[in-house]
Structure 1
Amino acid sequence: MTRLRVLLLGASGTIGGATAAALRARGHEVVCVLRPQAQVPAAARSSPASLRFGDVADPAWLAASVFRRGERFDAVLSCMASRSGEPADAWAVDFMAHHQVMRAARHVGVPLFVLLSALCVQKPRLAFQQAKLAFERELAASGMDRVIVRPTAFFKSLSGQVERVRQGRPYLLLGDGRRTACQPISDADLAHYLVDCLQDRSRWNRVLPIGGPGPAITPREQGEALFALLGRPPRFRQVPPVLLDGIAGGLGLAARWVPALAAKAELARIGCYYANESMLVWDAQRACYDAGATPSTGRDTLFAHYAALLKGEATDARGVHAVF
């Protein structure tokens, strides 16, 4: 396998950190670009020369500190994403920062750009989805070889109720918990899939949806698995989806008079979206989600992750990836 020199964006996140580790495990040279205040991931600490701290949306900094004269990269691999999904942050990071990096990389002849996007851009109704999709289109039109990876749900997004259930409280469901489904993927499995894209030319210049192993699972099945792991009978509390719709609508209306509420309204809309949409491949012709058409990879399962969390063998740095 050829040893590559890879510029990695988003290494301070959980998926980015896993990707840095996967790159080093394969013997690739990794240069991580980080925000000035970002924590340095363990996989990037082996060499100070592998770290660049600055603003990737600044073309002058990119030219002076990243794409310096005589410095060569075989690929850019981006796990970078907005932290909140709020409109201003989404357009600044998911679109503009990527735009600036792509322009600078293309200018110095970097041949390949691997982008971690999201499966939810199939049905874009939120600001961060529109921003991601706008950059996907720009990358496709750039002339660079590229791979656009659209993963399904992450383990950390589906682990918010583990502690709640451990404490004896009921599992919260939106509606009956059967309306949506996903095929969740672990950080490690997604990281290895992204790294494979660097040298698997059959994946180049394609948009690739990807999920984890096993069948698609509903929120109700997630709750049932948690109770089974604890040896308890399932207890559920159903929350009407219309309640979230009302909160989002009310905040959106109030934001006309109190602009500071606009960000909260967008977060509520994000919650509504995931309450109503599955994270599976969308079949536009049949107007439905198709679990059978959703590719899978890896070995890690969500329920094994739940078991590890309950035993204290794993933790989740969830941040904004919390539904409850």
Structure 2
Amino acid sequence: MTPDRPDGARPRRVLVLGATGTIGRATVRALAARGHDVTCLIRRPAETGTVTRIVDLTDPVSVARDGLRGETFDVLVSCLASRTGLPDDAWAIDHRAQVNALHASRAAGVTHVVLLSAICVQKPLLAFQHAKLAFEAELIASGLDYTIVRPTAFFKSLSGQIERVRRGKPFLVFGDGTLTACKPISDDDLGRYLADCLDAEGRRNRVLPIGGPGEAITPRAQGERLFALLGREPRFRHVPVALLDGIVAVLSTLGRWVPSLAAKAELAKIGRYYATESMLVLDPATGRYDAQATPSTGSETLFDYYARVIRGEAAAERGDHAVF
């Protein structure tokens, strides 16, 4: 099979972090399709279709000894992310593990790092956002070439209500369903974008927000299209944002004495954030989200994906940060 990479571009030895997540798997597929020699550093045994090495990414000795093994590499591609977004998890994975991999890979000859970040770090109010930004800053200051990709919403985090609606229940929205908007991007479209960063000189040493194809869509528009695909009349249940505020306040107060409730308070804050903030480029001058300024890439829309799930051609894999 002819490698799917630009003419004249050479294959690279690539280290991949976060290869077992849905986006990581798509990125590994895209890198392999382009003829790159891929080695995945993973936390537990899993099939990636490439060379895998079990590593404790929070331990710099393990990263060097078990992961790089004294070999040389050209590029580090990181799709790594904390599973919960809770403070301890975020600083251990989104920051410390990334720093360990950065230092070890630089010593192994890596000259370019492609980092999957998140568009929500534009307005950091949560622990995982601050952890991601802290690593972005270290990467930029490292002296290596970098490409920081900040995607908008993922299909998996917007698919939790498909089965709910199938069972005849209403689609849940916060407020009137138009408080937020996003340009969702598929795993495969994002994986191809990340893989193409290895050969796209114009993406070097840049922070790149990216969304999927088409116009920005609101939660209400998501619900309306889902009902249409199922051939049903739209039914919505409106959840007041004030309810989330109350939950956060109560859990935060009780969490001062009960650690498990403090963790739930943080999760509630994450839910509130996604319920009230758009996943689009933020205009720092106006403080408003700008759909027109949010670049689009790829070919598959969220509604294409909904249709495939309904037909049984795809499984709705939900992310850890799914609101519903």
Within-5 A mapping of 1:192-231: 192-231=192-231
Distance 2:13 2:109 in 1: 13
- Which residue does the alignment assign to 2:3? none
- Which residue does the alignment assign to 1:149? 149
Identity of aligned residues (%): 62
Distance 2:154 2:127 in 1: 20
The secondary structure found in structure 1 opposite 2:113 is: strand
Distance 1:287 1:319 in 2: 28
Distance 1:155 1:323 in 2: 12
Q: What's the CA shift string for 1:180-237, capped at 9, x where partnerless?
A: 0000000000000000111111101000000000000000000000011111111111
Within-5 A mapping of 1:44-193: 44=50, 50-69=51-70, 71-193=71-193
1:24 aligns with 2:47: no
Tell me, yes or no, if the aligned pair for 2:73 and 2:108 is still in contact at 8 Å.
no
1:11 aligns with 2:19: yes
Tell me, yes or no, if the aligned pair for 1:156 and 1:321 is still in contact at 8 Å.
no
1:272 aligns with 2:280: no
Tell me, yes or no, if the aligned pair for 1:8 and 1:20 is still in contact at 8 Å.
yes
Which consecutive aligned stretches of 4+ in structure 1 deviate over 3 angstroms post-superposition?
Answer: none
Within-5 A mapping of 1:307-318: 307-318=307-318
Q: CA deviation at 1:179?
A: 1.0
Q: CA deviation at 1:57?
A: 1.9
Q: CA deviation at 1:28?
A: 0.8
Moved more, 209-218 or 105-114: 105-114
- Which residue does the alignment assign to 2:42? 34
Tell me, yes or no, if the aligned pair for 2:114 and 2:147 is still in contact at 8 Å.
yes
The secondary structure found in structure 2 opposite 1:148 is: strand
Tell me, yes or no, if the aligned pair for 2:224 and 2:234 is still in contact at 8 Å.
yes
The secondary structure found in structure 1 opposite 2:93 is: helix
The secondary structure found in structure 2 opposite 1:93 is: helix
The secondary structure found in structure 2 opposite 1:293 is: coil
Structure 2, gaps ≥5 residues long: 1-8
Moved more, 312-321 or 209-218: 312-321
The secondary structure found in structure 2 opposite 1:8 is: strand
Distance 2:46 2:84 in 1: 18
Structure 1, gaps ≥5 residues long: 45-49
Q: CA deviation at 1:122?
A: 0.1
Tell me, yes or no, if the aligned pair for 1:90 and 1:131 is still in contact at 8 Å.
yes
What residue identity is the alignment partner of 2:248?
Answer: A
Distance 1:270 1:230 in 2: 30
Within-5 A mapping of 1:239-250: 239-250=239-250
What residue identity is the alignment partner of 2:111?
Answer: P
Q: CA deviation at 1:2?
A: 1.0
The root-mean-square deviation of aligned C-alpha atoms, in Å, is: 1.0
Superposition TM-score, scaled by structure 2 size: 0.96
- Which residue does the alignment assign to 1:298? 298
Q: CA deviation at 1:68?
A: 2.8
Q: CA deviation at 1:317?
A: 2.2
The secondary structure found in structure 2 opposite 1:146 is: strand
The secondary structure found in structure 2 opposite 1:96 is: helix
Q: CA deviation at 1:319?
A: 4.4
- The aligned length equals 316
Distance 2:197 2:29 in 1: 15
Distance 2:224 2:92 in 1: 40
Tell me, yes or no, if the aligned pair for 2:157 and 2:318 is still in contact at 8 Å.
yes
The secondary structure found in structure 2 opposite 1:150 is: strand
Distance 1:317 1:307 in 2: 15
The secondary structure found in structure 2 opposite 1:21 is: helix
